[in-house]
């Protein structure tokens, strides 16, 4: 593997891309939840001084109506699966979809200056019951205020269908004293939810499991990271964030340092701490990219990016890249369902946007002052369950000849128990990674019904075009994928062909070129594939061209096509 000076012409690339577009459609897909869809539960954000942001439009747009909330820091909003606002909270009061305070929606144990004052979680397997988790601020105008981590329950069948807080389960205390840190991710079964807090003045995390039967009051306790001195109270502030795939955790310890951990979403254990205490500026906000590979941290005077794929502390810390030097401080970062990261500016009416946060370095495309708000936002944005936005998708392996055979994979199998593939030609299979031969050319709507350990089901769709060729060639020796996902999860991390065992191939060479015609990979070993890197640097997302040459029974063969690098 390596980068060289070899090039192919841009016209050749365009020719191949157009040819492959005729054979295999792009990797667009639609994900549908057959149980309770979570695709758009994070589609509306209510935050700051009566501001509402709507992700049901593209690009996201400001809603014309004014909310009833004015909040300095932490808040949370929840919508229906189709994106209709249900309710929102600042951790103290709860407002319904008509911007009216719920009858019992007052006196919760959050705070207007708590970093992650509130977090709304839907009860698994329910469409009507929700939990509001809260953390109090550490001090109120200099007076210590330790109300801990608590939860309250909202029943949407009450108050004429607009919802209300249930008095019997209001402010149920889970952890006291606690910091202002509060986050959540899916359990390994794809249904239950881990809610995570951190003890005050100790390096103990407490993970509470939310199931269809309620909130477990017996936490899983982990010891990880540094012990924060207490006081001062400001060390208890700063964001705690899970990666969308639930495998990484970041902790911005305000006024001190950044901690990055591994998280076991089976057991709820936090471990393997990486600490960046070398910076002379104070971290506050942090957020992961959709592919869970990139971590962004907002310090008081800069925005930094870390590549967290490696388990090596040296590799992670050496990957730090300064993305921008925003003019003010106290920045909050939040991933939207549009896969962009939004960055608030303290006590200002603008937001910055990281347009392509999955990309490394300056290619993440940071846009300063990308959105102008109608009013001033203090510091906070949203506290949401980002796992709701994390979706697996179908990868189709289809040779660039006129063969009728295709192989199928899933981009992620983290929570998978079984799958049922439907090839849209009357045939189906429960094989995890099937290969299917079509009898006729044409366009097929392939689907995969995924069952998780929780018995919840998702159905993924992909349109596959089998070329309408005059002559159908015999079964090829190679099947090439149309995309791969080098994100370090052990699934589809390399681009390489599948070869039939009966083929006796000689003089094999695989070359891969970027959109500028530059050679980014070459290998004569059929067992080795491209991992998406050149000289230890991850390459940009997008379309690449592969060219494979080999000799079969004395005849020179060539296979060429386009592939998508995704994460």
Alpha-carbon span 503 to 292, nearest angstrom? 38
Q: Is 5 part of a structural domain of the chain?
A: no
Task: Name 436's bridge partners.
Answer: 406
Residue 91: Cβ-neighbour burial (10 angstroms; 0-12, 13-18, 19+): buried
* pLDDT at res. 19: 43
Cα–Cα distance between 221 and 27 in angstroms, integer?
41
Find out whether 197 and 171 touch, Cβ atoms under 8 Å: no
- Statement to judge: residues 374 and 510 lie in one domain: no
pLDDT of residue 33: 27
The residue range of the domain holding 408 is 10-31+391-565
H-run or E-run covering 301? none
In this structure, are strands 555-565 and 483-484 parallel, antiparallel, or unpaired?
A: parallel
Contact of 129 with 158, CB cutoff 8 Å? no
Residue in the block written with tokens 């249900």: 86
For residue 16, what pLDDT is reported?
A: 42
CA 117 to centroid of chain Cα atoms: 22
Domain identity same for 336 and 453: no
**Whole-angstrom distance, CA of residue 466 vs CA of residue 45:** 42
Separation of alpha carbons 530 and 377, rounded Å = 45
Q: Is residue 553 part of a domain?
A: yes
pLDDT score, position 23: 33
259 and 137 within one domain:
yes
Give yes or no: residues 302 and 434 share one domain: no
Query: Would 286 be classed as within a structural domain?
Result: yes
Find how far residue 283's CA is from the centre of its chain. Answer: 21
Instruction: Give the end of a domain, one of 389, 412, 445.
Output: 389
- Please tell me whether residues 367 and 421 are part of one structural domain: no
* Alpha-carbon span 29 to 186, nearest angstrom: 22
CA distance 280 to 500: 56
Give a yes or no: residue 2 inside a domain. Answer: no
DSSP string, 458-507: EEEEEEEEE---SSPPPPPSEE-BSEE--SSSSSS-SB--EE-TT--EEE
Q: Given its phi and psi angles, is residue 217 left (phi above 0), alpha (psi -120 to 50 degrees) or beta?
A: alpha
Answer with the one of 368, 389, 410 that is the final residue of a domain. Answer: 389
Tokens of 45: 């954000």
The pLDDT, as a whole number, for residue 52 is: 94
Q: Compute the C-alpha angle 222/227/229, nearest 5°.
A: 145
Q: How far from the centroid of its chain's Cα atoms is residue 266's Cα?
A: 18
Q: Do 336 and 423 have their domain in common?
A: no
φ, ψ (nearest 5 deg) of residue 337: -70, -10
Both 238 and 380 in one domain: the answer is yes
Same structural domain for residues 306 and 400?
A: no
Task: Give residue 561's Cα distance to chain centre.
Answer: 29
Residue 342 lies in a domain: yes
Tokens 């003890």 sit at which residue?
A: 199
Residues 322 and 415 reside in one and the same domain: no
The phi-psi region of residue 434 (left if phi > 0; otherwise alpha if psi is between -120 and 50; otherwise beta) is: beta
Say yes or no: 421 and 347 in one domain.
Answer: no
Domain co-membership, 343 together with 404: no
Check which CATH number belongs to the domain holding 489 and give it.
Answer: 2.60.40.10
pLDDT score, position 403: 59
- Whether 464 and 509 map to the same domain: the answer is yes
pLDDT of residue 106: 96
Helix (H) or strand (E) run with residue 349 in it: strand 348-354
C-alpha 415: how far from chain center: 15
Domain count for the chain, please give it.
2
Contacts of 233 (CB under 8 A, 6+ apart): 138, 139, 144
Q: What is the pLDDT along the chain (567 residues), one digit of tens a residue?
A: 333 334 444 444 444 444 433 333 222 222 222 233 346 899 999 998 899 999 999 899 999 877 889 888 999 999 998 899 999 999 999 999 999 999 999 999 999 889 999 999 999 889 899 999 999 987 654 555 678 999 999 999 999 999 999 999 999 999 998 999 999 998 887 788 999 999 988 899 999 999 999 999 999 999 999 887 776 666 788 999 999 888 999 999 988 889 999 999 989 999 999 999 876 568 899 999 988 889 999 987 889 999 998 889 999 999 999 999 877 666 899 999 998 999 998 888 899 999 999 899 999 999 999 999 998 888 889 999 987 665 666 777 665 445 577 888 776 666 677 899 999 988 999 988 888 888 777 888 899 988 866 566 778 888 887 765 443 334 467 778 888 888 777 778 899 888 777 777 888 899 998 877 788 999 998 889 999 998 888 888 878 888 888 887 777 777 777 888 887
Q: What is the CATH number of the domain that holds 306?
A: 2.120.10.30
Place of tokens 């807080």: 165
CB-based burial, 147-173: b 16+ in 10 Å, e otherwise: bbbbbbbbebebbeebbbbeeeebbbe
pLDDT for 463 equals: 83
Whether residue 16 lies inside any domain: the answer is yes
The answer to whether 563 touches 543, Cβ cutoff 8 Å, is yes
Residue-wise over 347-386: b if at least 16 C-beta within 10 A, else e?
ebbbbbbbbbbbbbeeebebeeebbebeeebbbbbbbbbb
Query: Where does a domain end: 389, 404, 420?
Result: 389
Let me know if residue 317 belongs to a domain. yes
Residue 117: how many other CB atoms lie within 10 Å: 30
| Structure token digits, residue 516 | 């500028």
Q: Residue 194: inside a domain, yes or no?
A: yes
The enclosing H or E element of 403 equals: none
Single out the residue of 73, 72, 75 nearest to residue 93, CA to CA.
Answer: 75
pTM: 0.72
């Amino acid at each position: 593997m390596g980068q060289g000076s070899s090039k192919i012409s841009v016209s050749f690339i365009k020719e191949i891309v157009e040819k492959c577009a005729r054979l295999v459609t792009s990797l667009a897909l639609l994900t549908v939840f057959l149980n309770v869809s979570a695709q758009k539960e994070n589609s509306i954000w209510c935050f700051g001084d009566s501001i509402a942001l709507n992700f049901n439009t593209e690009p996201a747009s400001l809603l014309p109506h004014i909310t009833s909330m004015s909040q300095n820091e932490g808040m949370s909003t929840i919508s229906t699966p189709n994106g209709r606002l249900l309710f929102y909270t600042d951790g103290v009061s709860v407002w319904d979809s008509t911007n009216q305070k719920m009858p019992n929606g007052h006196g919760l144990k959050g705070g207007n200056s708590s970093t992650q004052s509130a977090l709304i979680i839907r009860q698994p397997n329910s469409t009507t019951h929700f939990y509001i988790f809260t953390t109090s601020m550490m001090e109120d105008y200099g007076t210590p205020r330790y109300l801990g981590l608590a939860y309250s329950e909202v029943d949407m069948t009450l108050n004429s269908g607009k919802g209300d807080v249930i008095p019997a389960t209001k402010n149920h205390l889970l952890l006291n004293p606690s910091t202002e840190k509060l986050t959540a991710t899916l359990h390994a079964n794809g249904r239950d939810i881990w809610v995570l807090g951190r003890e005050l003045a100790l390096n103990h995390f407490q993970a509470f499991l939310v199931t269809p039967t309620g909130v477990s009051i017996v936490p899983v306790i982990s010891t990880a990271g540094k012990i924060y001195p207490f006081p001062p109270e400001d060390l208890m502030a700063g964001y705690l964030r899970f990666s969308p795939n639930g495998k990484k955790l970041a902790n911005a310890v305000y006024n001190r340092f950044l901690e990055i951990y591994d998280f076991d979403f089976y057991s709820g254990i936090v471990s393997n701490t990486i600490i960046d205490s070398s910076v002379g500026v104070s971290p506050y906000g942090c957020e992961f990219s959709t592919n869970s590979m990139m971590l962004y941290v907002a310090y008081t005077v800069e925005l930094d990016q870390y590549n967290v794929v490696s388990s090596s502390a040296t590799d992670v810390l050496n990957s730090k890249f300064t993305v921008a030097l925003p003019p003010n401080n106290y920045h909050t970062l939040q991933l939207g369902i549009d896969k962009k990261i939004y960055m608030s500016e303290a006590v200002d009416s603008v937001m910055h946007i990281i347009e392509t946060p999955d990309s490394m370095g300056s290619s993440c495309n940071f846009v300063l002052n990308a959105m102008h708000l109608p009013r001033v936002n203090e510091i906070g944005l949203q506290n949401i369950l980002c796992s709701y936005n994390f979706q697996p998708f179908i990868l189709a392996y289809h040779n660039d000849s006129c063969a009728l055979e295709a192989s199928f994979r899933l981009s992620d199998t983290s929570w998978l128990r079984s799958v049922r593939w439907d090839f849209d030609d009357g045939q189906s299979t429960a094989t995890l990674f099937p290969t299917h031969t079509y009898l006729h050319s044409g366009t097929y709507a392939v689907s995969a019904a995924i069952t998780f350990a929780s018995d919840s089901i998702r159905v993924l769709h992909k349109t596959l075009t089998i070329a309408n060729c005059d002559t159908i060639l015999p079964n090829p020796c190679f099947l090439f994928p149309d995309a791969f996902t080098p994100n370090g999860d052990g699934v589809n991390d390399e681009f390489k062909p599948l070869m039939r065992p009966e083929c006796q191939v000689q003089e094999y060479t695989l070359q891969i070129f970027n959109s500028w015609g530059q050679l980014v990979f070459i290998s004569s070993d059929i067992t080795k594939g491209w991992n998406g890197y050149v000289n230890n640097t991850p390459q940009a997302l997008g379309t690449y061209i592969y060219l494979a040459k080999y000799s079969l029974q004395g005849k020179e063969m060539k296979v060429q096509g386009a592939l998508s690098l995704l994460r």
